[in-house]
Amino acid sequence: MGYASVVNVGATYRPSENVLVFDLATFSTSSEVYVIAKSLLRLTDVYQNSGFRISFTIGSSSAGAGHNYGQIYHNGVAVGTERYQGIGSSTWSEDLYFTELHVGDTIELWCHTDAGHTGYCSDFYLKGIESDWLVQ
């Protein structure tokens, strides 16, 4: 897992298609409970009233009727909608808003799969654009 500091100090961000940081590596898992797959952002300053568009792909590496799950976390706490996929793969995108982000905070992708299956998550993107627009 790699970290990047890509946002400008003191800036406010809003969701957009402008890529700030990404990780295209594939993380495979056969865990039946959520495990951290990737951390994209470790903040180096405090940011208030910001939103980001976060996307990721989940899929199956094995045949069968099992499901694979993915969810966005902030500092180890679920903040996004749990997504799931059976055979094949899907890319999910979600706009998440934060009233305050602190130094050292992380935005993470966690994944798990049903028993007896191997799933993966990949293509984790954090997107946004500087703005004076505030989260309401």
The domains of the chain, with CATH numbers, are: 13-130 (2.60.120)
- Give the predicted TM-score (pTM) of the model: 0.82
Reported as a pLDDT band with limits 50, 70 and 90, residue 46 is: low
Beta-carbon contacts of residue 136 (< 8 Å; ≥ 6 apart): none
Output the pLDDT for position 65: 63
* pLDDT score at 9: 53
What DSSP assignment string belongs to 102-132? -TT-EEEEEEEE-TT--EEEEEEEEEEEE-S
Residue 44 structure tokens = 């180096």
CA neighbor of 55 nearest in space, from 128, 129, 130, 134 = 128
